[in-house]
């Protein structure tokens, strides 16, 4: 499955395609080198799901590995409530929902459907506020949009693509101080 796109990178790619390259370069490095406070808080908040102890309900499946041979994507879901056919993506803090986060949830949905799970509802769960935010199920046009996005992701080449540097995004990127495309400092240092 090495040619499958990790679901967790879909939002990162929209934020900055080059960040996916930087992540692959620095992934073996000490996370303290690049992780900022928001990412550290998110990792801590997500720990219950990752360790499968965030719920004691029998009908809750947590941290299930999923994949889609059709879309060539893979990853893990956060929570699937079997009794409600509800797929939930947990986020520590959602000031707004970005398109990449929607793609991540859609990707999980299509993986689960392909794997034979019945999914009738989607939602984000904001950990910091304990708020559930419903998301519409993707339709045929949404699936085509996701397929087009995955195609762009696979075709991206950090060496040959002109990157539009956005200082507002750069200063919020965890790799900002390690990036060769900007002189900006991130807001977390």
Q: Using one digit for the tens of pLDDT, what is the confidence trace for 85-109?
A: 999 999 988 989 999 999 999 999 9
Please, is 103 exposed, middle or buried when counting C-beta atoms within 10 Å of its C-beta (0-12, 13-18, 19+)?
buried
Q: What would the two tokens of residue 142 be? A: 């949404």
pTM of the model: 0.80
pLDDT at residue 39 greater than cutoff 50:
no
Report the distance separating Cα 54 and Cα 43, nearest Å: 13
Tell me the β-bridge partners of 66: 75
pLDDT tens, 111-125? 999 999 999 999 999
pLDDT at residue 46 greater than cutoff 50:
no
Q: Which of 76-80, 108-112, 152-156 has the lowest mean pLDDT?
A: 152-156
pLDDT at residue 76 greater than cutoff 50:
yes
Q: What would the two tokens of residue 157 be? A: 């080449």
Question: Among 132, 71, 82, 70, which Cα is nearest to 104's?
Answer: 71
């Amino acid at each position: 499955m090495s040619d499958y796109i990790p679901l967790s990178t879909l939002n990162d790619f929209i934020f900055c395609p080059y960040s996916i390259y930087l992540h692959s370069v620095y992934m073996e490095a000490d996370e303290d080198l690049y992780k900022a406070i928001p990412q550290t808080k998110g990792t801590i908040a997500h720990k219950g799901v990752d360790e499968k102890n965030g719920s004691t309900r029998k009908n809750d499946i947590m941290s299930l590995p999923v994949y889609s041979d059709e879309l060539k994507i893979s990853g893990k879901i956060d929570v699937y409530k079997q009794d409600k056919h509800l797929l939930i993506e947990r986020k520590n803090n959602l000031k707004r929902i970005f398109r990449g986060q929607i793609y991540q949830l859609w990707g999980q949905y299509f993986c689960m459907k392909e794997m034979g799970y019945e999914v009738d509802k989607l939602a984000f769960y904001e950990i910091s506020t304990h708020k559930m935010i419903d998301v519409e199920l993707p339709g045929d046009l949404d699936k085509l949009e996701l397929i087009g996005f995955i195609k762009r992701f696979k075709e991206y080449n950090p060496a040959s693509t002109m990157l539009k540097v956005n200082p507002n995004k750069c200063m919020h990127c965890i790799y900002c101080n390690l990036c060769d495309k900007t002189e900006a400092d991130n807001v977390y240092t």
